[in-house]
Amino acid sequence: MSLIAQKISGCYRRVLAFLVLFLFVGAGLGFIVYNRVGGIEGLRYWTAIRALNGTEKLLLKNRPDGVPQENVKEQFETVREAIHSRQIDLVLLYETINTFAIKFRTPGLTSDNKPSTPEVESFLSELENAVITEE
C-alpha cells in the first residue's frame, strides 16, 4: 500500500473512532435525560410544561389591558402545579394551547395580533377546565 493510501486509511479510522465515541456519549446523555424526566410519561408532562411556558410568554406579551397580569400568572401557575402533580387532561390542555397559539401567534415582526379581553378570559377558563379536580 502506498504512503498516501496509508495516511487516508488512518484518517478514516480516526474519524470513525471519533464518530462512534460521539454517538455513544450522545446516547448516554440522552438516556440520562430520558430517565431524569421520568420516561415516556414524564416526557409528555415535560413537553406540556414547555408548551405552557411558551404560551404564557406569548399571552403576557400581548395581554389586553382588561386582564390583570397577576390573574394570568396565577392561572398559569395553577395549571403548572396541576401538571407537576399529574392532575391534568393533557389532550384538552394541548387543544387549548394549540387553538390559542394558532389564533394569536404573530407571524411577522410588524404584525400585531392582540387578543381581546373576552378571548383571554375564555382561554384562561379553558385552561382551568383542563385541570382535573378530585370532587
| pLDDT tier, 50 (very low <50, low <70, confident <90, very high otherwise) | very high
pLDDT at 110: 46
- The total of other beta-carbon atoms located within 10 Å of residue 124's CB is 21
Give Rg (Cα) of the chain. Answer: 24
User: What tens digit of pLDDT does each residue of 13-34 get?
Assistant: 888 889 999 999 999 999 998 8
pLDDT at 40 over 60: yes
Across residues 49-69, what is the average pLDDT?
89
User: What tens digit of pLDDT does each residue of 107-126 get?
Assistant: 654 455 788 889 999 999 99
Q: What is the separation, in whole angstroms, between the first and last Cα of the chain? A: 80
Across residues 47-63, what is the average pLDDT?
90
pLDDT at 107: 61
Is pTM beyond 0.75 here? no
